[in-house]
Amino acid sequence: MNTQRILAHFQESADLKMKSAAALSPSISQAVELMFSALSNGNKILACGNGGSAADCQHFAAELVGRFERERFPLPAIALTTDTSIMTAVGNDYSFKEIFSKQVQAFGQAGDVLLAISTSGNSANVLAAVEAALEREMRIVAFTGKDGGALGKLLTDADVHINVQHARTARIQEVHLLAIHCICDGIDVALFGGDENA
């Protein structure tokens, strides 16, 4: 592969991350506060998304249940993307649209947070999960790309929207992952103290 093409990927990624830093920092900070408040009150975080976004959900849950960068007690986060028996049963018996919403209805409680990730903002099963979460008086942290799609329009003033305004899915996902790391770090600092600039 032409090294210039590889360099172009790195440059575009770096440029978008720097552009997104100022634009998204307030929303990321709000997401930290929302999740910190939920965890501090004995609530949990559920996460859903498809494809690469499903992997991001699992990454996020692993960082909270295990650890991010410091030793601490496990924090309750569940990726709704991992139970193949539930997902295939619901997908087969009902529809693929309901693979996350059924789990939100089963596990979600008032005060919990749903991390909903969709690079297009239009994933039908993620939208259904958000609707189910809102019905259960959960709060939403939505990660989207492009113009935010239908997901952005579902959110209330009590929710947090982290929207990466870019057309390429790969670039959007790269910024989403960085935002996830920022949130994990922010939760650790909020729960356990430490230098926020470390």
Summarize pLDDT for 164-193 with one digit per residue, the tens: 999 999 999 999 999 999 999 999 999 877
User: Are 86 and 103 within 8 A, CB to CB?
Assistant: yes
What per-residue confidence (pLDDT) applies to 1? 72
Parse the chain into domains and list their residue ranges.
Answer: 9-192
Residue 132: closest CA among 167, 164, 94, 177: 94
What per-residue confidence (pLDDT) applies to 195? 60
Residue 49: closest CA among 7, 5, 3, 100: 100
What per-residue confidence (pLDDT) applies to 193? 78
> What is the b/e burial string over 84-110, where b = at least 16 CB atoms within 10 angstroms of the residue's CB?
eeebeebbeeeeebbbbbbbbeeebee
In angstroms, the CA 30 to CA 15 distance is 24
Using CA atoms of 91, 147, 154, 180 in order, give the dihedral in degrees to the nearest 10. Answer: 70
Give per-residue pLDDT as tens, 128-176.
999 999 999 999 999 999 999 999 999 999 999 999 999 999 999 999 9
Question: 9-192 adopts what CATH topology?
Answer: Rossmann fold (3.40.50)
Q: What is the largest CA-CA distance in the chain?
A: 52
Give the chain's mean pLDDT. Answer: 96
Calculate mean pLDDT across residues 105-111.
98
- What is the token pair recorded at 161? 């929207």
